[in-house]
């Protein structure tokens, strides 16, 4: 973990503070009680699996206002409108940023969108503590993100096991071959390959193509970052990669859903 990039270290340090404060306000047992009353998980993996089996693009469309590297991405940010726009235009799942400090997200965005939109949702945040997994289920998330670069092995397994106990799916995100080997020790079906280098912020789709061969066939590969054109989409489809997580290029469009439909010919 000493090799963690500076921005990620800053985010994780803030996340430790956040979780400590939240634990003082609400216990895990209270979160479990709330989670009991939430609709069962909608099947994030199953929704993607259906697309992959049909050899059609399964798009996880992201709802994101800002990022540390790009600042504000979308000024006119209306999560419910964006979520419904994605759903009407053929998205398979949604990804919703809930980190406030660095991405200007909010838990309320996930709750509001879930109430109005039928698609499965992944809570996109920096998970470091089982408390956040219970919190995610209480919010109504169907899937959580584990970023290998942000976690030790024992921590990663504990978080994954907690999510499984709550019937949630887990998307494990990697950036390179070393992280992939660690990710494959988890019994999870979704492997996200982030094409953006955490240090340089450079993006290349070759990252997905290079790592693909080391991933067992029963896992679903999700390519993340750097999908900007129909040629990019076709390159992935030609290499039997059918699941995509895309956010920024959609968020900059007037209609994110229409932009998604055009990009993926949905």
State whether the Cα torsion 218-63-263-56 is positive or negative: positive
Structure-token pair, residue 77: 């940010």
Mean pLDDT rounded to a whole number for the chain: 94
Q: Which of 238, 231, 259, 198 is nearest to 9 (CA)?
A: 198
Which pLDDT band holds residue 166 (cuts at 50, 70, 90)? very high
Residues 6+ apart with CB under 8 A from 80: 112, 113, 116, 117
Q: Picking from 39-53, 140-154, 198-212, 231-245, which range would have the lowest pLDDT averaged per residue? A: 198-212
pLDDT for 149:
94
Which pLDDT band holds residue 169 (cuts at 50, 70, 90)? very high
Q: Is the pLDDT assigned to residue 154 strictly greater than 70? A: yes
pLDDT for 266:
82
Q: Per DSSP, what are the bridge partners of residue 95?
A: 62, 122
113-150 residue pLDDT tens: 999 999 999 999 999 999 999 999 999 999 999 999 99
Structure-token pair, residue 44: 């994030």
Which pLDDT band holds residue 1 (cuts at 50, 70, 90)? very low
pLDDT for 2:
47
List the chain domain ranges.
6-264
6-45 residue pLDDT tens: 888 899 999 999 999 999 999 999 999 999 999 999 999 9
pLDDT over 90, % of the chain = 88
- Looking at residue 218, the DSSP 8-state letter turns out to be T
- Asked if 149 and 126 count as a contact pair (C-beta separation under 8 A), the reply is no
Q: Is the pLDDT assigned to residue 81 strictly greater than 80? A: yes
171-207 residue pLDDT tens: 999 999 999 999 999 999 999 999 988 777 789 999 9
To the question of pTM greater than 0.85 for the whole model, the response is yes
CB atoms within 10 A of CB 178: 12
pLDDT over 70, % of the chain = 98
Architecture of domain 6-264: Alpha-Beta Barrel (3.20)
pLDDT for 3:
60
Return the higher-pLDDT residue of 151 and 71: 151
Which pLDDT band holds residue 48 (cuts at 50, 70, 90)? very high
């Amino acid at each position: 973990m000493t090799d963690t990039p500076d921005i990620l270290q800053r985010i994780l340090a803030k996340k430790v503070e956040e979780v400590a404060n939240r634990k003082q306000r609400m216990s895990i047992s209270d979160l479990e009680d709330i989670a009991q009353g939430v609709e069962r998980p909608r099947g994030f993996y199953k929704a993607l699996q259906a697309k992959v089996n049909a050899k059609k693009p399964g798009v996880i469309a992201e709802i994101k206002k800002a990022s540390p590297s790009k600042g504000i991405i979308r000024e006119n940010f209306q999560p419910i409108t964006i979520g419904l726009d994605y759903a009407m235009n053929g998205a398979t799942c949604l990804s919703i940023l809930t980190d406030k400090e660095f991405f200007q997200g909010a838990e309320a965005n996930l709750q509001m969108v879930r109430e109005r939109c039928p698609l499965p949702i992944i809570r996109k945040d920096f998970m470091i503590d089982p408390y956040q997994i219970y919190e995610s289920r209480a919010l109504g998330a169907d899937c959580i993100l584990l970023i290998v670069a942000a976690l030790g092995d024992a921590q990663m397994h504990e978080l994954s096991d907690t999510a499984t106990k709550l019937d949630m799916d887990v998307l494990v995100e990697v950036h390179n071959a070393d992280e992939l080997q660690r990710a494959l020790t988890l019994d999870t079906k979704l492997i996200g390959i982030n094409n953006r280098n955490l240090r340089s912020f450079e993006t290349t789709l070759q990252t997905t193509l290079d790592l693909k061969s080391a991933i067992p066939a029963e896992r679903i590969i999700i390519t993340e970052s750097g999908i900007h054109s129909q040629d990019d989409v076709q390159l992935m489809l030609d290499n039997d990669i059918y699941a995509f997580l895309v956010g920024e290029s959609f968020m900059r469009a007037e209609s994110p859903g229409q932009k998604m439909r055009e990009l993926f010919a949905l």
